[in-house]
Amino acid sequence: MAAAMPADAALTGQDFAAEARLLYRVAACGSDDPLPEGLDAKVVAKHCRWMQPHMEAYRRVFLARAGPFFAKAVPAGLPQKVVYPFGGGDLLSALTTYPGAQEITTLSLELAGDPRRIHKMNSRRLEDSLDFIRRTIVGLLAQNDSTSVSLQATQRGDLPGQLTFFLVGLAVHGCEPVSLRYFRIEQDGSLHYFSKEEIAGLENKLARRRHGQWTPPDFSEAFANSELTYRVRGSDQVRIHRHIAANLRDDYLRRNPAVLKYLEKQGQVIAMTKAGSYCLWNPAFSRLRKYLLANMEFMVSDSTGIPPQWASRAGFVQETYGSFHGSYLDASEDYNDQFRELWAKQPHRRLAFRYGYVDSEKACHLLLTRRAPNPARKATP
């Protein structure tokens, strides 16, 4: 197991494994572990009576359709590191899309959150907090998508909303948490894991929001970026999920180049995005788009993925599923035309589930973007 852990994390950084397991039990309803004295078992049982049928419905309705699709659609032999921009709270979909991934990095405006408050909650606060989790996660479980309003709301409160969403993703997929650490990204793209002393030193430094209109967090900056290691139940193989709180616009990345340097250190990756507000269509996100085109081998997306103009220039081919008539939100008409043409030129391939946004006519659609074979490139060591 230790061999699968990141070397620097194995030796440094405070481990909140106990808090992760407790949140997994209480908020994600992922185990039957005994509850500690002081946590109201009736409140937790009521919450899990709601959560467990909704998680099972995701498995029965969505995963039963999407799982076999991705098993056939995702080629063998790809890198096993996933990059998921605009993936706030959505480890659930990453595990659905790439269940065998060894490392998953999600990036979004939302911060992971402080896991410690679960220890000091009376019955009323616990009930209110679990009710809040149910109200904010229902879209992800029912429609495979979360709204920006729901994601913003997770930045405040007694339970760490983003982290709880990640733990629900593990529970749905039969996985369990192993360790939980928090980190910052150094200027060279390496990770520094916060020690107990460093976290104490940052206790009174409130985290900064990554977007001027986003809800300000009510916890320390130490809890912005998380590394959650996990394993499939019954397995000894430990896998890694990292969440990075970052604004991915060009102006932010220009001032904060460490995020892209971290991503570039991952080498060749596979990618995904969905319900991404058409940011990859936006010239203000060109640095992220260029990073993806230079470093990814394969990508699953809805229409908020890479526009055909840029994909073809970078040597990618795109395969369409479902139907596309126009963007769900107002977006570039030029790129809309490109996508309409792309779908029109290809045979209709049935899609039995929703992946991210529907289109302007509420049609489900999905896009596979793969690097075209290049003999010269294959010959390169």
Its sign, for the CA torsion 295, 296, 297, 303, is negative
The string of DSSP letters for 179-246 reads EEEEEEE-TTS-EEEPPHHHHHHTTTSBPPPSSTTSPPPSSBGGGSEEEEEEEETT----EEEEEEE-
Of 283 and 377, the one with more pLDDT? 283
- Smallest Cα–Cα separation from 226: which of 187, 290, 179? 179
Range 144-148 average pLDDT = 50
Predicted local confidence at residue 11, as pLDDT? 56
**Which of 151, 159, 177, 180 has the alpha carbon at shortest distance from 113?**
159
Q: Provide the pLDDT for residue 184.
A: 96
pLDDT confidence tier of residue 157, bands split at 50, 70 and 90: low
Of the pLDDT bands very low, low, confident and very high (cuts 50, 70, 90), residue 379 is very low
Domain boundaries, the chain: 2-246, 276-381
Q: What is the pLDDT of residue 140?
A: 80
Q: Please determine, for residue 10, whether its predicted confidence score (pLDDT) is greater than 90.
A: no
E strands, the chain, are: 81-85, 103-108, 175-185, 191-193, 225-232, 239-245, 269-273, 296-301, 316-322, 365-371
Model pLDDT for residues 76-100, shown as the tens digit of each residue:
999 999 999 999 889 999 999 999 9
CA distances from 268 to 81, 100, 262, 287 (A): 8, 16, 12, 17
71-82 burial, b if ≥16 CB within 10 A, otherwise e? Answer: eebbeeebbebb
Q: Which residue has the higher pLDDT, 154 or 102?
A: 102
Instruction: Give residue 165's pLDDT.
Output: 92
> Model confidence at 372, in pLDDT bands (50, 70, 90)?
very high
Q: pLDDT tens digit string along 184-243? A: 999 999 999 999 999 999 988 877 776 656 677 777 899 999 999 999 999 999 999 999
Q: How confident is the model at residue 1 (pLDDT cuts 50, 70, 90)?
A: very low
* Average pLDDT taken over every residue of the chain: 90
Separation CA 55–CA 265 (nearest Å): 35
- pLDDT computed for residue 9 by the predictor: 45
**Residue 6 pLDDT more than 50?**
no
- Across the range 236-251, mean pLDDT stands at 96
Q: What is the pLDDT of residues 269-283, one digit of tens each?
A: 999 999 999 999 999
